[in-house]
Structure 1
Amino acid sequence: MSARRARSGSRAPLSPLTGPVPADTGTASFDAVPGDPHAYVLTLNGVPSSPYRSDDPRVLDFEYLRWMAHLTASALPAGRSVRAVHIGGAACALPRHLDAIRPGSRQTVVEVDAALADWVRANLDLPRSPALAIRAADGAQEITRFRPNSIDLIVRDAFAGDTTPDALSSSAWFDGVHAALGPHGAYIANVADHADRTALRSEIEGLRTRFSHVLAVVDPTQFRRRRRGNVVVAAAHDPIDARAVESLVRGDGASVRSGVELMSHLGPAHARR
């Protein structure tokens, strides 16, 4: 692992350490992006899992994270601080982004990999607690420990390999999310969808029975060609301006699906866990 220049008296290196990273759940590495002196990527078990910008946390280098940020901007009042919970932390790209654009926010990251969480806190430039607290815990269990109706934003971005763990897509999980969110809160999830759309349909069905408004940001070619890929889903009791989201994600070649249009793209229903 190579050491980089440290910022005197700072809470984290100006240029973070690169190379292998401790992880309890497999292998991990934190590597510089060639051609960009400020860009890094955290890779977990061979899968690029989180970008990191040393110069500007407002910049999100993964498109699905930009979609999440756009959904947050559309679902929650602009400029206000939020109480947010992130299930799955990696390099904390989205929490850093929200802290930069919504000063005063209080966020909790729940990361199942304790060794990785310790390394990220020690080596990356993160907001300090209580602005950003990191808990090494199981997200499915931890969601039930938040006070009911106390959270403005819940983000689920956690995987076992390239699949959403069953415990984070079960009926009990959605019940926990519904209980923790405030009446004007929003839930946003990164869904690793299969070609047969079973994962996405399961997510949508779980949310539609608990929230009045559900939509998805998709790569249209992924839907047309019925190929595997990631879809970002949002749910809330309050309306989410789909047109506003559409205009924001268009630059990434993405589009928004909701209602009958969304359901028409999904495969046949199947029994819930």
Structure 2
Amino acid sequence: MTGADAPSELGPGLGRIELLADADRPGGWLLTVDRIRQSYVDLDDPGYLDFEYVQAFADVLDALPPGPLAVTHVGGGACTLARYVAHTRAGSSQIVLEPDAILTEQVRARLPFARGTRVRIRPVDGRRGVAALRDGSADVVVLDAFHGGRVPGELTSREFVTDVARVLRPAGVLLVNVADGPPVRYCRRLAATLATALPEVLAVADPSVLKGRRFGNVVLAASRAALPVDDVRRAAARAAFPRTVHAGTSLAAFAGGATVLTDADPMRSPQPPDALWRVGEWDGD
């Protein structure tokens, strides 16, 4: 990667943004906030997904019935997945809930959307943004929101999941990206929490992460309807770095009676090791 912009001071608590051009891929850009990797976008090929967890998202989406989707994204970044959906499912209508208006402004300026992309970005946090959505208005809700490398506790509570279930159509799917490490207690609690409102749940990740041997991303999908588990398993097995899929009895064993997350008993995802997600060092303060 090569730096394309000087970091932008966003004010207390908001972090610094930088867009890094990929020297090996002409259309490729990496978005970082406080040096934490946030998004990778290929403007020339929106179907190219650099981050493994985004590919896991795509594996679930690709297995859903064909046609346009109504998708709400909680957390925007550079809108990698929104671009992918627009590219693979023409005519999809998408809403992105991204509270950082300055980040959105820079992404729009440097990484413009392809013509005809139906993506609306709303400057609101996920909890308030989802509460304002109509009942049954989304086929998919994607939760991919981090602050300082951690998922805010208010976005993984039973109360929030119940509100997401209200927004989803009967066969709608919630997709969640989180990160966890040994002993994977956070993900076990989150899997149990999702099942309170959306009883069909699957988890996808590197096998060593799900076994609690190292830190990494975990993607969870949840729905009232049966999920395309076999298709997701086949895609996970074909990946450059094959992933494990827990569903049904193996998901129940993974959750293992874990305590449900609530507004009164929340839990943020663990702090990730710097070496995993941070790149380079800023010059200056």
- Using the TM superposition, give the Cα deviation of residue 106 of structure 1 relative to its aligned residue in structure 2, in angstroms: 0.6
Q: Offset at 1:264? A: 2.6
Q: 136, 139, 144: which one pairs with 2:131?
A: 144
AA aligned to 2:217 is: N
Structure 1 residue 22: Cα displacement: 5.6
**Corresponding residue of 1:173:** 160
**Quick check: 1:119 aligned with 2:138?**
no
In the alignment, is residue 102 of structure 1 matched against residue 100 of structure 2? no
Shift of 1:224: 3.0
Q: 1:69 aligns with which of 45, 58, 63?
A: 58
Same amino acid, percent of matched pairs: 33
Query: How far is the alpha carbon of 1:137 from its aligned partner?
Result: 0.7
Residue aligning to 1:87 = 74
TM-score (norm 1): 0.87
- Structure 2 CA distance for partners of 1:269 and 1:261, relative to 1, 3 Å: same
Are residues 23 and 116 of structure 1, via their aligned partners in 2, closer, same or farther at CA, if it must alter by over 3 Å?
farther
User: Match for 1:29 among 18, 27, 32?
Assistant: 18
Name the TM-score, length of structure 2 as normaliser. Answer: 0.84
Runs of at least 5 residues in structure 1 that lack an aligned partner in the other structure? 4-16
Q: Could you tell me how far apart the structure 1 residues matched to 2:112 and 2:189 are?
A: 36
Per-residue deviation, 1:123 = 2.3
| Alpha-carbon contact 1:43-1:49 (below 8 Å) kept | yes
Could you tell me whether the CA contact under 8 Å between 1:187 and 1:234 is conserved in 2? Answer: yes
Equivalent residue runs for 1:1-273 within 5 Å: 18-21=5-8, 23=10, 25-74=14-63, 76-78=64-66, 80-127=67-114, 131-250=118-237, 251=239, 252-266=241-255, 269-270=258-259, 272-273=261-262
Gaps of 5+ in 2: 263-285
> Structure 2: how far apart are the matches of 1:129 and 1:154?
21
Which of 34-43 and 146-155 deviates more? Answer: 34-43
The structure-2 alpha-carbon separation of the partners of 1:152 and 1:124, relative to structure 1 and needing over 3 Å to count, comes to: same
Q: Deviations over 1:218-248 (max 9, x none)?
A: 1002223532211000011221121210111
How many residue pairs get aligned? The number is: 257
Moved more, 222-231 or 64-73: 222-231
Q: Structure 1 residues 148-157 or 34-43, which shifts more?
A: 34-43
CA contact (8 A) 1:110 1:139 kept: yes
Deviations 1:79-135 (A, max 9, x none): x11111000110111000100111111101111211101211222121578810011
**SS of residue matched to 1:175:** helix
Large movers: runs of 4+ above 4 Å: 127-130
Distance 1:271 1:158 in 2: 20
